[in-house]
Amino acid sequence: MKRLSSKPTVYLIDGSNFSMRFWEKAGGAKPDELEREFLAWLAEAARTEALRASCFRVVFDGPWRKPGASGPSITVYYSEGEPADEMLAERGYFMQTEGIRAFIVTSDNGLRDRARAEGVKTLDCETFQRLVTAELRKETR
């Protein structure tokens, strides 16, 4: 994938996987701080022209906690007692069967393999971050 489509898309994001993967490298902050940084970045990305028509469903592992600021197109869920992977896979499969354009964003190979086996499109976190960063750069020109 060379760029993000401007078609309305639901991005089902493995929030814990994504935030820990990238923001920990930038300073080793606590998980809740990493989550807030990730959601702030995602809120900025959601305002770009390419992503304005899309929505984001972010699933974090564990119990509910107060999420950081996000945007109107971002909904945050907590897996509570259920694995976040289950929530993402089930929602992805449901959307695929309903004809809703959706991607599961995770670097968890097991989840990506499972999703693809069920016909759900996936993006790894690195690709998603690269594509979003390109959109953010376009907006600042």
Q: Is 136 exposed, middle or buried (0-12, 13-18, 19+ CB in 10 A)?
A: middle
- Radius of gyration over every alpha carbon of the chain, rounded to an integer in angstroms: 14
Residue 105 forms part of a structural domain: yes
Q: Which residues partner with 57 through β-bridges?
A: 12, 75
64 located within any domain: yes
Give the pLDDT of the chain (141 residues) as one tens digit per residue. 788 999 999 999 999 888 877 766 656 567 778 888 889 999 999 999 999 999 999 999 988 888 776 778 999 999 998 889 999 999 999 999 999 999 999 999 999 999 999 999 999 999 999 999 999 998 776
Structural domain contains residue 83: yes
Query: Is 4 a member of any domain?
Result: no
Would residue 37 count as lying in a domain? yes
Q: How many domains does the chain have?
A: 1
Q: How far is CA 40 from CA 18, 80, 86, 117, in A?
A: 13, 23, 25, 32
For 27, the domain range is 10-140
Q: Is residue 18 part of a domain?
A: yes
Say if 2 falls within a structural domain. no
Inside any domain, residue 34: yes
CATH code: domain of residue 132: 3.40.50.1010
Q: How far apart are CA 29 and CA 23, in angstroms?
A: 8
Q: What is the pLDDT of residue 29?
A: 66
